[in-house]
Amino acid sequence: MPLHPEILDGTPTEGARGLALGMLAEARGRASLLAGPADAEALHDFRVSIRRLRSTLRAWREPLGKPVRDKDLRRLRRVARATSAARDAEVLVAWVAGIAGSLPPAHRATADWLAARLDSGTQRADLSRSLERFGAAADSLTRRFGRETPAGSPGALAGTSAGTFAAALAGRIREQASSVQACLSRVKTEDDAPLAHRARIEGKRLRYLIEPLREAIGARADPAVKALKRLQDLLGDLNDAQLAATATREARQELGAEPARAGQGSRLVGLRPGLRALERLADERAHQLFSRILAEVLPTHGAALLEPALGVAAALEARAHSS
């Protein structure tokens, strides 16, 4: 949702409320596409809209006040978790399909077996439940926002933030950039994968703060969004490679522990060499990606990629001072 000048120059409560309602409308539209015929991009788009909505509600919970209830945030968190499982399955299936051609012929049956095992279609029932939860949360939030009196009028929320939305947004951008750097500063080795993943999440939250400014004159948001996407892609590729290594390792270990469970013991045990090969390829990919991140990002804790975001904050502060 683009932020127009009048929103930036209004109060934090007005700006946050406008953002939240815009994010709700976007998520509703994408949920309707996910509920319809299969669409390869529908799940991704819905996940993004849920992340943006959750990030907006968290970032602006204080000025938004009473309409944002813990119950609705819990519903949205469950939706995010369920769709994450489906997304991870889609990524792994795509990885297996992309790498299958490089495997020796003897191991290609393993790739087919693993792809079938990971098929994201098995998550469809969970997605149906997730759409119900999202609908309940969206209805509740929309209804509660609609009942609130706009800030500045009689009966408005107590504790409405002072100053402009531009100034408040600048402050949150600076705080979030610091959170990204703090996470990156703790990443030292490949064993710090959870910290790298946390840095990726914090980077996404920073990008979601800035993306609505892309059409705002003078905000200089485009370079910041591009730089943050680069950071997200690097850390995301590392996470996906580690996810693939874990999935293949777990599959191999399960086959070794109970080979006769499916009534096809000898055939399934024969898949283990192929799973080892897939696991090795995933581990090599993860190692290459971490080496790149170690060279390009970690020495300065991502300072070069975060600098454009701080430039956006400075532009917002200048706007707030001139208004």
The verdict on 171 and 315 lying in the same domain is yes
Q: Is residue 263 part of a domain?
A: yes
CATH code of the domain containing 94? 1.20.120
Q: Give kind and range of the element (H or E) at residue 188.
A: none
The verdict on 78 and 168 lying in the same domain is no
CA separation (Å) from 144 to 57, 148, 150, 155, 242? 13, 7, 12, 15, 41
- Which residues form the domain of 6? 1-104+119-151+158-163
Higher pLDDT residue, 251 or 195? 195
The verdict on 5 and 139 lying in the same domain is yes
Question: Pick from 212, 174, 163: which is nearest to 321 by CA?
Answer: 163
Alpha helices in the chain (DSSP H): 5-8, 12-35, 42-59, 61-64, 70-99, 105-118, 124-147, 165-184, 193-210, 221-257, 265-269, 272-296, 303-322
Cα Dmax for the chain: 75
The pLDDT score that the predictor gives to residue 42 is 83
Question: Pick from 136, 148, 232: which is nearest to 184 by CA?
Answer: 232
Highest mean pLDDT among 76-90, 184-198, 250-264: 184-198
Give me the residue label for tokens 């049956």. 109
pTM equals 0.85
The pLDDT score that the predictor gives to residue 154 is 36
Q: Is residue 189 part of a domain?
A: yes
Amino acid at 20: A
The verdict on 146 and 169 lying in the same domain is no
Q: Is the pLDDT of residue 203 over 80?
A: yes
User: Tokens in use for 317?
Assistant: 């502060």
Least confident of 26-40, 57-71, 262-276: 262-276
Q: Is residue 110 part of a domain?
A: no
The verdict on 146 and 16 lying in the same domain is yes
User: Tokens in use for 175?
Assistant: 């705080």
The pLDDT score that the predictor gives to residue 40 is 61
Interatomic CA distance for residues 136 and 118, integer angstroms: 29
Give me the residue label for tokens 């003078």. 218
The verdict on 181 and 289 lying in the same domain is yes
User: Tokens in use for 244?
Assistant: 């693939």
Per-residue model confidence as pLDDT tens digits over 210-237? 999 988 777 789 999 999 999 999 999 9
Radius of gyration of the chain (CA): 23
Grade residue 257 by pLDDT with cuts at 50, 70 and 90. Answer: low
Interatomic CA distance for residues 124 and 115, integer angstroms: 16
The pLDDT score that the predictor gives to residue 219 is 73
Q: Is residue 77 part of a domain?
A: yes
The verdict on 125 and 186 lying in the same domain is no
Share of the chain above pLDDT 90, in %: 56
Higher pLDDT residue, 85 or 277? 277
Give the 3-state secondary structure of residue 120. helix
CA separation (Å) from 215 to 127, 221, 256? 33, 8, 55
The pLDDT score that the predictor gives to residue 140 is 93
Per-residue model confidence as pLDDT tens digits over 158-193? 334 568 999 999 999 999 999 999 999 999 999 998
Least confident of 121-130, 160-169, 188-197, 267-276: 121-130
The pLDDT score that the predictor gives to residue 261 is 52
Q: Is residue 113 part of a domain?
A: no
- φ, ψ for residue 231, nearest 5 deg: -60, -45
Higher pLDDT residue, 103 or 21? 21
Amino acid at 237: D
The pLDDT score that the predictor gives to residue 71 is 93
What would the mean pLDDT of 54-62 be, rounded to a whole number? 94
What would the mean pLDDT of 46-64 be, rounded to a whole number? 93
Q: Is the pLDDT of residue 61 over 50?
A: yes
The verdict on 262 and 310 lying in the same domain is yes
- Interior angle at CA 62, CA 218 and CA 75, nearest 5: 105
The pLDDT score that the predictor gives to residue 322 is 83
Burial class (CB in 10 A: 0-12, 13-18, 19+), 160: middle
The average confidence (pLDDT) of the chain is: 85
The pLDDT score that the predictor gives to residue 245 is 92
Share of the chain above pLDDT 70, in %: 86
The verdict on 290 and 255 lying in the same domain is yes
Q: Is residue 89 part of a domain?
A: yes
Cβ contact 246:279 at 8 Å = no
The pLDDT score that the predictor gives to residue 102 is 82
Q: Is residue 114 part of a domain?
A: no
The verdict on 180 and 138 lying in the same domain is no
The pLDDT score that the predictor gives to residue 152 is 43
Q: End-to-end distance of the chain based on CA atoms, in angstroms? A: 23
Q: Is the pLDDT of residue 259 over 90?
A: no
Domain total for the chain? Answer: 2
Q: What is the 3-state secondary structure (H, E, C) of 171-182?
A: HHHHHHHHHHHH
Q: Give kind and range of the element (H or E) at residue 66.
A: none
Q: Buried (b) or exposed (e) across 116-130, using 16+ Cβ within 10 A?
A: eebebeebeebbeeb
Q: Is residue 112 part of a domain?
A: no
The verdict on 318 and 177 lying in the same domain is yes
The verdict on 169 and 146 lying in the same domain is no
Higher pLDDT residue, 311 or 117? 311
